[in-house]
Amino acid sequence: MILFTSGTTSFPKGVMLTHDSFSSYILSTVTPADPDEEDTNILTVPLYHIAGVQSVMAAIFGGRTLLIQRQFEAKQWMELVEQEQATRAMMVPTMLKMLMDHPEFHQHNLTSLQVITYGAAPMPLPVIRQAIQEFPGSYFINAFGQTETAATITMLPPEDHVLEAGSIGKPLDDVEVRIFNEEGELAALGETGEIAARGARLMKGYWNQEEATTETIRGGWLFTGDLGYQDEDGYIYLAGRARDFIKRGGEMVSPEEVEQVLQSHEAIEEAAIIGVPDLDWGERVRAIVVLRDGGEASEEAISEYCRQRLASFKKPESVVFCKELPRNPMGRVLKRLLKEEYSYPVVVG
């Protein structure tokens, strides 16, 4: 099967996956069908996406009823869950937030949901913390992976969401996961490096793109392009996409770290960070911000808010306001489009 990547940092590439890619994942993560149990999974992610394909296969192998929503719409989703008594849901962070922000959210009985799996994009901590409060009877699972790895390679189970909510969890049994530093050596605990995976279910390569395949698969390891670190307990934390990291005056700035701070501001609905080319510093930090309805915040106020919570070189030196951030169908912000539109020079002073 050939599935295409989401194209968040570059144009989509065709990923070649085999029978092993799917059977390995399903056999190691899905409980076989039990005639004495009923499970109903509501699916809102596209079927051309790896998460959609794996959800369908999991439903077949696990004997689950599958409710497919053609396109996510919060009110219809809540009505379907209530009407069909759905027990499982797969969502992206944007969808979960749209649900809880919907004016009719508390008018629907969603207590049938036992498991809510989320992934495909970074989950803001305020959103998952609110979700845990709003769905007290549901278990949350953070699933991290990509098309090239045939879906999930690490998982944060429900019991770890209280203390480790910011983590993507630990590797699954059928895949090895390691973190390599810039020298190509295994990173020390707490040291940020690129997350790599190895196992039978990884892609065979990119369709008709040998150079890209060679860059991604090195020494038997598939390098995901995601940066992260591992703590002493084995939990892995994301630091952002390698291509998105900003190099400012010799210092490395993680866009995700700055975005998490911005999204904790009461007036900000969502935000994205990009690096802008600069002759003096190499790159400067620019924030693209969407304000909440009725929210007010100036560029100076936002910059000061970040200065109080981040190292000085990490705070945005420019803030641009817009109505919405460009996203792909899975809810991931398209940074390449933001860079095309907002990479004009930062004027300081």
The confidence score (pLDDT) of residue 349 equals 64
DSSP string, 39-89: -EEEE-S-TTSHHHHHHHHHHHHHT-EEEE-SS--HHHHHHHHHHHT--EE
The confidence score (pLDDT) of residue 41 equals 95
The confidence score (pLDDT) of residue 8 equals 60
User: Which helix or strand (DSSP H or E) is residue 318 part of?
Assistant: strand 318-321
CATH topology of domain 245-342: GMP Synthetase; Chain A, domain 3 (3.30.300)
Two tokens, residue 39: 């499970």
The confidence score (pLDDT) of residue 258 equals 94
Chunked mean pLDDT (size 10), the chain, 349 residues: 78 90 88 88 90 91 93 94 96 90 96 93 84 94 93 91 85 94 92 94 94 95 94 90 84 89 94 92 94 93 95 94 89 88 86
Q: Yes or no: say if 301 and 315 are a contact pair by the CB < 8 Å rule.
A: no
Q: How many other β-carbons are positioned within 10 Å of the β-carbon of residue 32?
A: 9
Using CB atoms within 10 Å of the CB of residue 189, give its burial: 0 to 12 exposed, 13 to 18 middle, 19+ buried: exposed
| CATH superfamily membership of 2-174 | ANL, N-terminal domain (3.40.50.12780)
**Cα–Cα distance between 123 and 144 in angstroms, integer?**
11
- Buried-exposed string 65-97: b where 16+ CB fall within 10 A, e elsewhere: ebbeeeebebeebbebbeeeebbbbbbbbbbbb
Distances (CA, A) of 308 to 191, 262, 347: 24, 12, 22
Domain parsing of the chain, residue ranges: 2-174, 245-342
The confidence score (pLDDT) of residue 9 equals 60
The confidence score (pLDDT) of residue 148 equals 95
The confidence score (pLDDT) of residue 161 equals 86
Asked if the domains at 2-174 and 245-342 fall in one CATH topology, the answer is: no
